[in-house]
Amino acid sequence: MSLGAELHVASRYLIGNRRWTPVVTVSLISVFGLGLGVFALVVTLALLDGFQSGIRSQIVANAAHAEVRPATGRRVVDPEDLASLLQGELGNVEIVQVVRGTCLISSDTDAVPASVVGRSDTEGVIADRLISRRLGVGSGDRLEVISARQRLTPMGPLPVRIRTVIERISSPEPGSESGTVILPIAEAQRLLWGEPVIEALELRDVAEPWSLGQRVRGILGSHGLAFQVAGLEELHRPLLTALALEKVMIFVAVGLMLVVAALNLLCNVAMVAAEKRKDLAVMAGLGFTPRSLRRLFLVLGLAIGLVGSITGAVLGSALSIVLDRTGALELPRGVFMVTAVPFSVDPVTLGIVVAVALGLAALATWLPARMVARREPSEGLRYE
């Protein structure tokens, strides 16, 4: 049997004829419930995506997109050759040679441990806002950077240290807790190694940042060079994992609204099944199989789910886009990186929300549909 008869009856039940029937009423309540759940979930996730894409943009803007380290040991052998090879293969990418370590950063009044990075593209000294806040220093102030490495002096072994002036203050690296000081590479090498050692190459490709690690891995592999390559995902795994986990937890928590809406749908469909007991018996008498009756109810539930979730998704997306474009929800200046609450509607997330809503609607309808299919047709006629 085709689905024509089930669709025909289901559509008449939902749209009704000239009258406002109880089926239409409970269907509208169910549509409203599911629509509200989807709407709330879409807006919440758009808000979360808005903030998270801000963080991702900051990572892309400020951090390396890929990092190449030696497979063993800490020194990159022939870093210039390696840089030339990658530059030749990748074309328009920025390649920076770096060394890293931990030093004590001291101002006139205080000292804190912090990361020190020597970069081949840096001329002056850059301290991030964490260092600036902790030590109470700003551009033009003096800093002393003290290494754990020691050198022998007439007064005995003393730590290697440099005195320098902060050229500018930068945004902290996402996820950084201790603060970072960036130095010209020669000074960092002197502090950390005492010789011109390169520990890693950092690469940036503004056009395709997220795939750079994979491409570098491919190039080095094709030349038989053994290096450790980390892309953006690997370099910021803890932060990105935390962001993804946050999204999942918010989805689950706000998604509970959908579960409540689905339970409401279950009750309403069960009510329809009770209200239409006689009709169902008559339809069975006319030749509807138990499977057809089950399908009739599944069509009813899915239609309600589809209308509810599409309506909720459209309204939720529209509101998110309007709020994002107009910047209607302003944030206090200086507290956040952005001046208004950002919203970002991700089509994949939207698809998942609609799919989950439809899945829950189908599940919620399954129970009453199964109950209806298992009844003997005469039951509905006997109690009439």
193 binds another protein (CB under 8 A): no
φ, ψ for residue 121, nearest 5 deg: -100, 10
**3-state SS class at 228:** strand
Whether 66 and 231 have beta carbons less than 8 Å apart is answered as: yes
Output the smallest distance, CB 32 to another protein, in A. 21
333 binds another protein (CB under 8 A): no
Listed ranges 100-108, 156-164, 237-245, 280-288: which one lies at the site for another protein (CB under 8 A): 280-288
Listed ranges 10-18, 46-54, 74-82, 121-129: which one lies at the site for another protein (CB under 8 A): 10-18
- Closer CB to another protein, 23 or 313, in the complex: 23
φ, ψ for residue 346, nearest 5 deg: -95, 120
Amino acid at the residue 97: Q
CA distance 324 to 120: 39
Sequence-ordered alpha helix ranges (H) in the chain? 4-15, 22-62, 79-90, 129-135, 185-192, 212-222, 232-235, 237-275, 277-286, 290-326, 347-374, 377-382
Q: What is each CA distance from 93 to 7, 80, 122, 262, in whole angstroms?
A: 58, 15, 17, 51
- Closer CB to another protein, 177 or 384, in the complex: 384
281 binds another protein (CB under 8 A): yes
CA 213-190-114 angle, 5° bins: 65
Output the smallest distance, CB 23 to another protein, in A. 8
282 binds another protein (CB under 8 A): yes
- Closer CB to another protein, 28 or 55, in the complex: 28
156 binds another protein (CB under 8 A): no
- Closer CB to another protein, 7 or 90, in the complex: 7
Return the residue of 292, 302, 306, 338 that touches another protein, per CB under 8 A: 292
192 binds another protein (CB under 8 A): no
Output the smallest distance, CB 61 to another protein, in A. 60
Return the residue of 289, 322, 330, 355 that touches another protein, per CB under 8 A: 289
1 binds another protein (CB under 8 A): yes
Site mask for another protein (CB under 8 A), range 21-60, x = bound: x-x-------------------------------------
268 binds another protein (CB under 8 A): no
Output the smallest distance, CB 355 to another protein, in A. 30
For CA atoms 211, 217, 220, 222, give the dihedral sign.
negative
Return the residue of 283, 300, 350, 356 that touches another protein, per CB under 8 A: 283
Sequence-ordered alpha helix ranges (H) in 209-276? 212-222, 232-235, 237-275
Return the residue of 88, 287, 332, 334 that touches another protein, per CB under 8 A: 287
Return the residue of 207, 286, 335, 348 that touches another protein, per CB under 8 A: 286
Whether 41 and 316 have beta carbons less than 8 Å apart is answered as: yes
Output the smallest distance, CB 286 to another protein, in A. 5
- Closer CB to another protein, 1 or 244, in the complex: 1
Beta strand pairing status for 156-170 and 125-128?
A: parallel
Whether 180 and 116 have beta carbons less than 8 Å apart is answered as: yes
For CA atoms 304, 308, 314, 317, give the dihedral sign.
negative
Whether 125 and 182 have beta carbons less than 8 Å apart is answered as: yes
Output the smallest distance, CB 8 to another protein, in A. 6
Output the smallest distance, CB 303 to another protein, in A. 14
89 binds another protein (CB under 8 A): no
Output the smallest distance, CB 30 to another protein, in A. 18
The structure tokens 């309007």 sit at 322
- Closer CB to another protein, 4 or 140, in the complex: 4
Beta strand pairing status for 156-170 and 200-204?
A: unpaired
Whether 189 and 195 have beta carbons less than 8 Å apart is answered as: yes
Residues of the shown chain interacting with another protein in the complex, contacts defined by CB under 8 A: 1-2, 4-5, 8-9, 12-13, 16-18, 21, 23, 278-279, 281-292, 376-378, 381-382, 384
